[in-house]
Amino acid sequence: MSKLRDYKKEYRDFHGKPEQIRRRAARNKARTLLGLKMGDGKEVDHKKPLSKGGGNGKKNLRPVSRRTNRKKGAK
């Protein structure tokens, strides 16, 4: 018999880490800056990715569909 997974513990262990909390806060700040609401199907896209030196300023952000953002990646 296999042991049942403790999903609550897994969630706490991953999402409670300081790095994850900072990333979530940065995503929420960017969504607020663009005026996106909870449940909106749009995501925030960085025109110049953070990994390539882009910032979180309003000029570098744009709202796009989830599909478009996931397809783009950090190009």
Return the amino acid letter for 12.
R
Give the model's pLDDT for residue 27. 84
Listed as ranges, residues in the chain with pLDDT below 70 are 1, 74-75
pTM metric for this prediction: 0.64
pLDDT tens digits, 36-49: 888 888 989 989 88
Give the model's pLDDT for residue 74. 66
